[in-house]
Chains A and B, each alone.
Chain A
Amino acid sequence: MVQINFAQKEIQCKIVYYGPGMSGKTTNLEVVHGKVPEQARGELTSIATTGERTLYFDYMPLDLGQIAGIKTKFQLYTVPGQVYYKSTRRLVLQGVDGVVFVADSSAAKLAENKESLADLEENLKEMGKSLKDVPVVIQYNKRDMPDAMSVADLQRELNPHGLPHIEAIAKTGEGVFPTLKDLSARVLEAVNKGGLGSTRAKPAGAKPGEGAATVVAKAPTSVAAPRPSAAPSHAASGAPSRTPMPAAAAARAVPSFAGSIGAATAVAERPSARPTTSQPQVSPAAASHGEAYAPKSLQDRVVAVSGMSRSGPSGKLILLLVLGAAAAAAAYFVLVVR
């Protein structure tokens, strides 16, 4: 689920590479990691077996820079393709904002492609979503295989919903960027339509929290400086034939939302109608420092745990007097009264 952080002026989206085993999902991510500008990429983390098969997921953060003053970040995941990792795929798919389905073009892999696609649909269904709700781009990978099916045949077998598709040879990098670029445009379009727009004031009767965004305000870190917009010299080699909407077209196709994003830039001026007195308050300055906390001594903490307060010399004297008086009263009761 997309997260929109208006304090940092930051959007985070989750993109998952899905598909059968050995179809090239991790290769896609490795190519992206290897070719995007250094300042845009984070560390590529892989939870893999010793045989380099993805065990849980591969992960890489990708920073697209600022769009209209909003820092836009993608979190890229792959899932393990093997059939028996179904439950793991479902975990990784949780909260997904866009899917690249990496299909193997080999005729011998058709059944596996179909099974994986059905698996994706089933997992989305369990999340209350469908292929129509989530932006999905199909990548027909391994176009260089001798037994590669024709795109027309692949479309007929795998793409009854008419999802956008792109041809690729991931191991050479071909088609990798166009795939991610196309999906990114669609995800951001959906964010503009649903996510950012959903932060607008709701009409009366709207359900609280309705929408698709998590908006966070006033987080501690500062907004990164915008990246120069000049196109770098790392364009993907050779853009294969493809039908999907190019990024520019996708952006143009977005309905005019002037005024739709953001509602939440006004978070700082949110009306104080909703009482917050029950919340512990800190000053904005104090809340945004983020510095390390200097730990207390162990004695201090133990005292805090027990709920006692340390007393000075006068406190101890009073305590001794009270105890003495109590002892004297007890002795009087025993010796005199009885």
Chain B
Amino acid sequence: MSSVSDSKIRASVLVFYEEDILAISSVLDAFLKKSAARCALLVDKDGHMIAARGATDKVDLDTISALIAGSFAATRALAHQFGEDDFTALFHQGKSGNLQLSLVSDRALLTALFDDATTVGMVRLYATEAAKRLTALFRRKQEGGTPVNAATVDGKAFEEGTSGALDSVFGS
């Protein structure tokens, strides 16, 4: 049993580094290969996308991530009405496309888009497995801490560039 609880992961901030993303991508790729889902997204519960794999070219990832997080948040409130902490998995069925959501460590949502090339049972089976692997990854990250040395981005340039960027969108 890990010493890091889901509640701690939920409450704290996660920082992902290259190796983390490689590991997440590897889990998502393995999931896609086994389940034959069309694409897989890992979405922060606040609505930001963390990683996406598979056929994502026709998908508006920003909007989908926001709606997925909203959908899950609403369903969680619904779960509370039934005395449940969560519905840890959700399934949305369409005519040709379907969506399977699985909770990862109470922090993120594994989302699989799939069609009739596979079945909901297959996707659910492997999504559960992938969610467990991602949860373990999150826990290891939580225990790992922050790297000691890291290079920098020019914060001064960011500070100076803010004004120009806002002017370009909103006018000066």
A216: Cβ under 8 A from any B Cβ: yes
B89: Cβ under 8 A from any A Cβ: no
Q: Which of B122-148 contact A (CB under 8 A)?
A: 122, 125, 137, 140-148
CA distance A81 to B20 in the complex (A): 40
Stretch at the interface among A40-48, A98-106, A146-154, A325-333: A40-48
CA distance A247 to B60 in the complex (A): 30
Residue from the set B62, B118, B125, B164 with the largest chain A CB neighbour count within 10 Å? B62
- A293 with B33: CB separation less than 8 A: yes
Closest CB-CB distance, A270 to chain B, in whole Å? 5
A28: Cβ under 8 A from any B Cβ: no
- A198 with B13: CB separation less than 8 A: yes
- B153 with A196: CB separation less than 8 A: yes
Q: Which residues of B contact A290 (CB under 8 A)?
A: 52-54, 56
- B70 with A304: CB separation less than 8 A: no
Size of interface on A: residues with Cβ below 8 Å to B: 119
CA distance A260 to B62 in the complex (A): 27
Closest CB-CB distance, A68 to chain B, in whole Å? 4
Contact among B18, B117, B150 for A7, CB-based, below 8 A: B18
CA distance A235 to B47 in the complex (A): 29
A134: Cβ under 8 A from any B Cβ: no
Q: Which residues of A contact B147 (CB under 8 A)?
A: 201, 270-271, 273-274
Closest CB-CB distance, B54 to chain A, in whole Å? 5
Q: Which residues of A contact B45 (CB under 8 A)?
A: 94-95
For A1-31 the 0/1 string (1 means CB < 8 A from B) is 1010001000010100000000000000000
B1: Cβ under 8 A from any A Cβ: no
CA distance A215 to B170 in the complex (A): 27
CA distance A257 to B22 in the complex (A): 30
CA distance A305 to B15 in the complex (A): 34
| B contact residues vs A (CB 8 Å cutoff) | 12-23, 25-27, 29-30, 32-34, 36-39, 44-48, 50-57, 60, 62-63, 66-67, 70, 73-74, 77, 117-118, 122, 125, 137, 140-172
Name 8 interchain pairs, CB-CB below 8 A, sorted by A.
Answer: A68-B158, A94-B73, A200-B150, A216-B51, A264-B15, A266-B149, A274-B147, A296-B36
| A contact residues vs B (CB 8 Å cutoff) | 1, 3, 7, 12, 14, 36-37, 40, 42-43, 45, 47, 56-57, 59, 61-62, 64-70, 72-73, 75, 77, 87-88, 91-92, 94-95, 177-178, 180-181, 184-185, 188-189, 192, 196-202, 206-221, 227-236, 247-248, 250-252, 254, 256-271, 273-274, 276, 278-282, 284, 286-288, 290-293, 295-296, 301, 304-305
